[in-house]
Structure 1
Amino acid sequence: MCLAIPAQVREILPDGMARVGLDGVVKEISTALVGDLAVGDYVIVHVGFALSKIDAVEAERTLALLAEAAGAPAEAMA
């Protein structure tokens, strides 16, 4: 089973890359599949690639569901 998760764009980097953050973890990902990104946007991330943009409300709802499934408070995932 594969899992793609929402992460917030923290920094746009050169060469189609960006830094994203989720729950205190910062990771560099490729943005080659998604255009028009800005700092603060949420993207769906899978194996180091942003697959698509997602609005903040949907991202927060998804993160809350993942936190609930893991037994963690929703605020811990944001």
Structure 2
Amino acid sequence: MCLAIPGKIVAIDGDDAYIDFGGSKKTANVSMVDAEVGQWVVVHAGFAIEVMDEDEAQETLKLWNDFLDSGEADIKKPQ
């Protein structure tokens, strides 16, 4: 399963951007969006698929953290 996660662009080099995901920096392709350094993007499978504003990104990250902290993320494999 792949998840789309928001991250903040810290640098762009051609079609590749260096994106900060809460301290973990990864590279993603930004050729599908019109994004600039400092903007937040939703990244899925190595591609930025949407530009979002910071408030929306922070709310999404809060919801993810609340979900992870709730214990509901502990999904058991079927037997």
Fold-level similarity (TM above 0.5) = yes
Aligned-partner residue type, residue 7 of structure 1: G
Q: Structure 1 stretches of 5 or more lacking a match?
A: 73-78
- Confirm or deny that 1:46 pairs with 2:48: no
What is the rounded CA distance, in whole Å, between the counterparts of 1:66 and 1:52 in structure 2? 18
- RMSD over aligned Cα atoms: 1.4
Measured after TM superposition, the shift of residue 39 of structure 1 is: 1.3
Q: Structure 2 stretches of 5 or more lacking a match?
A: 71-79
Count of residue pairs brought into register by the alignment: 70
Ranges of 4+ aligned residues in structure 1 off by more than 3 Å: none
TM-score (norm 1): 0.83
What is the rounded CA distance, in whole Å, between the counterparts of 2:22 and 2:57 in structure 1? 13
TM-score (norm 2): 0.82
Can you list the C-alpha shifts for 1:20-42, whole angstroms capped at 9, x where unaligned? 0112110111001101x221100
Measured after TM superposition, the shift of residue 2 of structure 1 is: 3.3
Structure number, greater radius of gyration = 2
